[in-house]
Structures are given as structure tokens and as C-alpha cells.
């Protein structure tokens, strides 16, 4: 691992809806701040052409050549075999070999997740890694997982998510003893489907700060610091929150357009967006449960979002998040198997 002042962040230069423009501009923003060296991974000629549009002399940016892109519509498992030199695989391999300290991609979340699992491997005791993090503006430090990578789960998977979310809350958010809840249709114990009921039994054995069931309306208040659910439910929540934010902003603009001048209205809408678009404001979220820092962002991310993702990656590295997950997870998971 590199020293704090010499950290290297690999950015998937071909990932995202607006690649290579957005990843390249984001890499430049991060490089200008001097917080780390940037390894920009992708088609060499395309990246050189994009970089030539900016003044980059002296900036700590290096191009790492790759061949091919894995798109959202492709099967991640199949694409990993068919495109072994794709940008996401090359970038993730840089972390595996120690040439980079973290990888960031705004491309296919499935491919980013699959590459992290296959190349970096999983933390001891974790059967299935997950994606997650804070997503709700009124509860900016509430971690929800899984948000879509594991559609069908078994009870031990959800406990694993709880462990990973708890460590993340402790290390990155400074919450000493995170409260963990399982998302269900009622707050009383015993309410919920078979998965919820069986998972509850395991959580009681885990020694974690488990507070029982939480309901959908509890997500807005942050009643639990960590909320676990299967990826099917989690992804529905994620898309609902994103859609509600856009819809509410539109309604707000239509309602206030005749009562405020354009400058004040735009300022208000920008403030609303920043407070409620937690994923964008943090740059993305880590893949929970793999042995390395892998950050997934939205395909529609801006250059500023990519820049913020670099900061998130640096936080994960400097707080030794992966080491802490490896330290805590095996012992806790062993308690539920006895």
C-alpha cells in the first residue's frame, strides 16, 4: 500500500453515460487538488484526445491502456470472460496487483461488482457482497443495503450486510454502536415474511446492536443507522427515492416560478438537489464485502461527482475500511453459524 501522500486511484475512463468526457474531466479536477495520483484506464487514443482539450501539463495523471467496454445491457459474468482487457477489468486488476489503491467506475454497476468479486475476492465470512450506502436526504448517514446486487437472499446474507454496514458506519460516519434494523411491513417482531423472521433470529445471536424491524416510513427519520433488505426491495427503494426527488423538484419549480425570480429559484432547487441527492454528493458508494476499495457511481454522474468519488475512495483507504471489515466480520459471522 502506498503512503497517504502517494495514493493512486484508478478511474474507469470508459465508464458512464457521458464517457470519456466526464471521467476525464473528473480525473483532472481530482488531480488538480493533488490529493492523489490518477490512473485513467481506457482506450489510449480516445483518452489522449480527450485530455488534449485541457491544460494537463504537470498533473499527476497517467493513462493505462485497455481494450473494450462492458455495457449495462451485457451479462457481467459473460462479459468478464469475453472482454478480459476491458477498462473495468484492467482498472480492478490495478488494485489487485497493488498498482492502485482504489478503483472508481461510473459504468455498468453489474460489471464493476462482478469484477470486484472475481478479482479482489470477498472478505472472510461474507458469501455475497452488496452495494449500498446513504440515499435519503432526511437521513444522510443512514446506510441501506443491499440496493440491487442480490435479488434473492437468505438470512445469513442479510446478517452479513448488517455487519458490513455497521463497520462502514463506525469507520466512515463515526457512529460508535450503529443501530441495525431489518426492513419489514411492521415494526413488531414477528411481522414480515419468512426471510425477515429467520434473519431476525440470526441477528439476535450476532451480538450486533439489532433493534428489530423498521418500516418504510422509518427510513425518512433514520431510526436505524443501518437498514438491511434483499436487493429486490432495496433497488425499488433506491429508484423510488430518485424518482421522487426529481418529481418533487419539478413540482416545486412549477409552483414557485410565479412567486420567485429565476436566480433565487435556481439557488433553492440546487440546494434541494444537493441535500437530497446523497449518492451524487458523496460520489457513489463502495462495493461492500470485497477485499479492496471499489467505488460505484451513477452512469449519469457529472465530473464533480467523479471528483467527489475520489475523495470517498481516499476516505475508505485512509480509515482502513477494508482492514476493519476483515477484522470484525469473521468473528461476528461465526456466531450465527454455531
Whether 4-126+289-319 and 130-278 share one fold: the answer is: yes
Give the whole-angstrom CA distance, residue 143 versus residue 134.
5
Residue pLDDT, tens place only, 183-225? 999 999 889 999 999 999 999 999 999 999 999 999 999 999 9
Question: What pLDDT, on a 0 to 100 scale, did the predictor assign at position 332?
Answer: 93
Choose the weakest-confidence range: 45-49, 64-68, 257-261, 288-292: 257-261
Give the whole-angstrom CA distance, residue 71 versus residue 15.
8
Q: What is the mean pLDDT of residues 164-193?
A: 95
CATH topology of domain 130-278: Isopropylmalate Dehydrogenase (3.40.718)
Question: What pLDDT, on a 0 to 100 scale, did the predictor assign at position 300?
Answer: 87
Residue pLDDT, tens place only, 85-108? 999 999 999 999 999 999 999 999
What φ, ψ does residue 247 adopt, rounded to 5°? Answer: -65, -40
pLDDT band per the 50, 70, 90 thresholds, residue 13: very high
Contact between residue 160 and residue 128 where contact means Cβ atoms under 8 Å apart: yes
Annotated domain spans of the chain: 4-126+289-319, 130-278
Arch. (CATH architecture) of 4-126+289-319? 3-Layer(aba) Sandwich (3.40)
What φ, ψ does residue 214 adopt, rounded to 5°? Answer: -125, 150
Q: What is the mean pLDDT of residues 312-335?
A: 95
Contact between residue 101 and residue 1 where contact means Cβ atoms under 8 Å apart: yes
Residue pLDDT, tens place only, 221-264? 999 999 999 999 999 999 898 888 888 888 888 888 888 888 88
The DSSP annotation for 167-195 comes to: HHHHHHH--SS--EEEE-S-SSTT-S-HH
Q: What is the mean pLDDT of residues 22-49?
A: 95
| pLDDT above 70 for 1 | no
Please report, for residues 91, 98, 133, 166, 259, the alpha-carbon distance to residue 317 in angstroms, rounded to integers and kept in the order given.
17, 13, 17, 17, 47
Q: What is the mean pLDDT of residues 67-89?
A: 93
Choose the weakest-confidence range: 2-16, 96-110, 143-157, 319-333: 2-16
Q: How many whole angstroms from its chain centre is CA 224?
A: 19
Q: What is the mean pLDDT of residues 264-281?
A: 77
| pLDDT above 70 for 54 | yes
Residue of higher predicted confidence among 54 and 271: 54
- Calculate the average pLDDT of the chain: 92
* Total-model pTM: 0.91
Question: What pLDDT, on a 0 to 100 scale, did the predictor assign at position 5?
Answer: 54
| pLDDT above 80 for 83 | yes
Give the whole-angstrom CA distance, residue 42 versus residue 21.
12
Q: What is the mean pLDDT of residues 71-77?
A: 89
| pLDDT above 50 for 28 | yes
285-288 and 130-133 beta bridge pairing: antiparallel
> In b/e form, how buried is each residue of 56-91, taking b as 16+ CB within 10 angstroms?
eeebbbebbebebbbeeebebeebbeebeebbbbbb
Q: What is the mean pLDDT of residues 101-122?
A: 95
pLDDT band per the 50, 70, 90 thresholds, residue 22: very high
| pLDDT above 90 for 150 | yes
Q: What is the mean pLDDT of residues 283-293?
A: 94
pLDDT band per the 50, 70, 90 thresholds, residue 162: very high
Amino acid at each position: 500500500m502506498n503512503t497517504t501522500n502517494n495514493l493512486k486511484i484508478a478511474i474507469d475512463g470508459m465508464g458512464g453515460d457521458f464517457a470519456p468526457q466526464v471521467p476525464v474531466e473528473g480525473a483532472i479536477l481530482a488531480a488538480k487538488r493533488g490529493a492523489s495520483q490518477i490512473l485513467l484506464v481506457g482506450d489510449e487514443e480516445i483518452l489522449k484526445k480527450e485530455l488534449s482539450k485541457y491544460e494537463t501539463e504537470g498533473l499527476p495523471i497517467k493513462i493505462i491502456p485497455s481494450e473494450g467496454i462492458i455495457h449495462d445491457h451485457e451479462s457481467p459474468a459473460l462479459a468478464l470472460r469475453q472482454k478480459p482487457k476491458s477498462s473495468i477489468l484492467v482498472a480492478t486488476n490495478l488494485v489487485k496487483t497493488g498498482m492502485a489503491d482504489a478503483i472508481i467506475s461510473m459504468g455498468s454497476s453489474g460489471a464493476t461488482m462482478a469484477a470486484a468479486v472475481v478479482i479482489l475476492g470477498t472478505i472472510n465470512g461474507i458469501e455475497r457482497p452488496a452495494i449500498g450506502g446513504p440515499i435519503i436526504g432526511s437521513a444522510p448517514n443512514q446506510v441501506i443495503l443491499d440496493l440491487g446486487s442480490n435479488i434473492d437472499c437468505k438470512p445469513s446474507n442479510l446478517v452479513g450486510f448488517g455487519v458490513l454496514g455497521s463497520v462502514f458506519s463506525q469507520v466512515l460516519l463515526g457512529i460508535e454502536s450503529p443501530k441495525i434494523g431489518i426492513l419489514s411491513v411492521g415494526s413488531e417482531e414477528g411481522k414480515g415474511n419468512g426471510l425477515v423472521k429467520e434473519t431476525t433470529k440470526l441477528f439476535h445471536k450476532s451480538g450486533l446492536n439489532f433493534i428489530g424491524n423498521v418500516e418504510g416510513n422509518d427510513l425518512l427519520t433514520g431510526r436505524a443507522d443501518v437498514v438491511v433488505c434483499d436487493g429486490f426491495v432495496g433497488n425499488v427503494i433506491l429508484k423510488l427515492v430518485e424518482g421522487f426527488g426529481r418529481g418533487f423538484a419539478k413540482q416545486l419549480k412549477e409552483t414557485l416560478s410565479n412567486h420567485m425570480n429565476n436566480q433565487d429559484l435556481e439557488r433553492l432547487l440546487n440546494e434541494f438537489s444537493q441535500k437530497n441527492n446523497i449518492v451524487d454528493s458523496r460520489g457513489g458508494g463502495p462495493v461492500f464485502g470485497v477485499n479492496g476499495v471499489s467505488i460505484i457511481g451513477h452512469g449519469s454522474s457529472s465530473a464533480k461527482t467523479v471528483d467527489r468519488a475520489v475523495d470517498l475512495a481516499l476516505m475508505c483507504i485512509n480509515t482502513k475500511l477494508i482492514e476493519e471489515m476483515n477484522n470484525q466480520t469473521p468473528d461476528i459471522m461465526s456466531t450465527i453459524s454455531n
